[in-house]
Structure 1
């Protein structure tokens, strides 16, 4: 069977992260949503997404296809239902389509002609940016169960202080000495070829993905995910770093999400609680205004390739777009458009030529090429987000 993950109606609610990737490639828990589905299905998937992303994330359509809404995280019950789908059957959650089997081209689909199957069980759905951190604990637990089933952890070196060892899983090549791992509040997953440096204190749920590093004396509270090739230090609480991003120094990051290729300068701090304890409002690309989140705790949402200088302070509920460069004293405003250069005293446009020069150098350090596809995607984002920049 051919499985295709589609963005669905939540795509714009998940900006700025979906400026540069399909919904399926958002990381929540240990794995990306795509990796979760492919692990359960034991098959590769392709994607229906925005046209400008389709060269990098192509769709392969066959005579028979099962389309899956990438906002929904798989579990065993749902996957079995998806595998059992017959032609012109669709799985719904309330009025939302989760998956359907079709032989028709996507533009010809009419759900009035489908047999509706209701999915009645609980399921994790990622439909807003803040879901990525607020639902991360459940996602870590589900991925931990999926990845460690019938497997045995590598031994934990004796120098470490460990609480509830049965909830800790260490992959091959991980290095950790003289750390504290407390898995009493949730599992701790230490990925392949990672390192946790001495003096670090970690409370689960926590996921350290392959080739990632926790710096000396870091203090990390779950639920937190440190994606592949990331580096974290200082104090981190209930945050998700997708991959290749660094918060390598002292400073606080809480209730936040960083995309890929981000860098937070030394002593960067995010506020995750308003002084009056009021509900946090967050920039909404759909309405082009600030929308209620229903949350009391919400920090920073930062899109791919964005960076900030030392001693940067982010206000509660700040959204930073793609390829922004922030520096200087004071608080920048709560919404920083993509390709912005500056800080609290104002912003100018960060021209693509300069931004791409930096991206090439940064990615080359990790032996990854800044491709023509990457350049074309970011050029599109630059044009699409012009209306938010004041110059």
Structure 2
């Protein structure tokens, strides 16, 4: 069967992260949403997404296709229902389409002609940017079960101080000595060739992905995901770093999400709680205003390729777009548009030529090419977000 993951109606609620990727390639838990579906289905997937992303994330359509809403995270019950779908059947959760079997072109879909099957079980849905961190604990636990079932962990080196070792899984090549790992409140997954340096204090749930690292003396509170090739130091609580991003020094990051290729300067701190303990509002790209989150704790949402200088301070509920460069004293405003350059004293436009030069250097350090496809995506984002910048 040919499986295609589509963005669905939540795509715009997941900006700025979906400026540069389909919904399916958001990381929550240990794996990306795509990696979860492919593991359960034992099959590759392709994507229906925005036109400007389709060169990098193409769709492969066959005579028979099962379309899956990428906002939903798979579980055994749902995957079994999807495997048993027949032509012109669709699975719904309330009025939301989760998946459907079709032999029609995408422009011809009319769900009034489909047999509706209701999915009544609980399921995790990622429909807002803050869901990435607020539902990360559940996602880590489900991924931990999926990845480790029937497998044996590498031995835990004797120098470490361990609580609940049965909830810790270490992949081949991982390094950890003289650390404290407390997995009593959630699993700790340490990926292939990852490293936790001496003196680090870690409380699960934690996903330390392949080739990622935790610096000496760091304090990590779960649920936290440190994506592949990312580095973390200082104090972190309930945060998700997608991949290739760094918070390498002292400072606090809490209830936050960083995309790929982000870097936080030394002693960067974010607030995750308002002084009056009120509900946090976040910038909403659809309404172009600040919207309620229903959360008391909500920190920083930072899109791909954005960076900040040393001693940067982020207010509660700050959204930073793609390829922003923030520096200087004081708090920058709570919404920093993509390709902004500056800080509390004001912003100018971060021109694509300069931004691309930095991206090329940063990615080359990890032996990854900054491709023409990457340039085209960022150029589109630059134009799409021009209205938010004060030129």
Normalising by structure 2, what TM-score? 1.00
Alignment match, 2:316? 316
Q: Which runs of 5+ in 2 are unaligned?
A: none
Please give the alpha-carbon distance, in whole angstroms, between the structure 2 residues aligned to 1:107 and 1:182.
51
Please give the alpha-carbon distance, in whole angstroms, between the structure 2 residues aligned to 1:147 and 1:303.
28
Alignment match, 2:81? 81
Alignment match, 1:279? 279
Alignment match, 2:334? 334
RMSD of aligned Cα (Å): 0.2
Alignment match, 2:259? 259
Deviation at 1:235, TM superposition (A): 0.1
Normalising by structure 1, what TM-score? 1.00
Alignment match, 1:25? 25
Q: How many residues align?
A: 391
Deviation at 1:318, TM superposition (A): 0.1
Deviation at 1:13, TM superposition (A): 0.2
SS in 2 for 1:291: strand
Deviation at 1:175, TM superposition (A): 0.1
Please give the alpha-carbon distance, in whole angstroms, between the structure 2 residues aligned to 1:161 and 1:106.
55
SS in 2 for 1:260: coil
Deviation at 1:149, TM superposition (A): 0.3
Report matched runs for 1:91-102 at 5 Å.
91-102=91-102
Alignment match, 1:390? 390
Report matched runs for 1:118-267 at 5 Å.
118-267=118-267
Deviation at 1:3, TM superposition (A): 0.1
Alignment match, 1:346? 346
Deviation at 1:125, TM superposition (A): 0.1
Please give the alpha-carbon distance, in whole angstroms, between the structure 2 residues aligned to 1:284 and 1:215.
34
Deviation at 1:169, TM superposition (A): 0.2
Deviation at 1:380, TM superposition (A): 0.1
Once the two structures are superposed, residues 18-76 of structure 1 have per-residue CA deviations (whole angstroms, 9 ceiling, x without a partner) of: 00000000000000000000000000000000000000000000000000000000000
Report matched runs for 1:352-391 at 5 Å.
352-391=352-391
Deviation at 1:278, TM superposition (A): 0.3
SS in 2 for 1:162: strand
Report matched runs for 1:281-320 at 5 Å.
281-320=281-320
Deviation at 1:187, TM superposition (A): 0.2
SS in 2 for 1:305: coil
Alignment match, 2:16? 16
Please give the alpha-carbon distance, in whole angstroms, between the structure 1 residues aligned to 2:322 and 2:387.
14
Once the two structures are superposed, residues 58-104 of structure 1 have per-residue CA deviations (whole angstroms, 9 ceiling, x without a partner) of: 00000000000000000000000000000000000000000000000
Deviation at 1:266, TM superposition (A): 0.1
Alignment match, 2:2? 2
Please give the alpha-carbon distance, in whole angstroms, between the structure 2 residues aligned to 1:205 and 1:196.
15
SS in 1 for 2:359: helix
Q: Which runs of 5+ in 1 are unaligned?
A: none
Deviation at 1:372, TM superposition (A): 0.1
Please give the alpha-carbon distance, in whole angstroms, between the structure 1 residues aligned to 2:90 and 2:131.
25
Once the two structures are superposed, residues 101-144 of structure 1 have per-residue CA deviations (whole angstroms, 9 ceiling, x without a partner) of: 00000110100000000000000000000000000000000000
SS in 1 for 2:259: strand
SS in 2 for 1:67: strand
Deviation at 1:293, TM superposition (A): 0.2
Please give the alpha-carbon distance, in whole angstroms, between the structure 2 residues aligned to 1:16 and 1:78.
28
Deviation at 1:229, TM superposition (A): 0.2
Alignment match, 2:114? 114
Once the two structures are superposed, residues 279-313 of structure 1 have per-residue CA deviations (whole angstroms, 9 ceiling, x without a partner) of: 00000001000000000000000000000000000
Once the two structures are superposed, residues 327-360 of structure 1 have per-residue CA deviations (whole angstroms, 9 ceiling, x without a partner) of: 0000000000000000000000000000000000
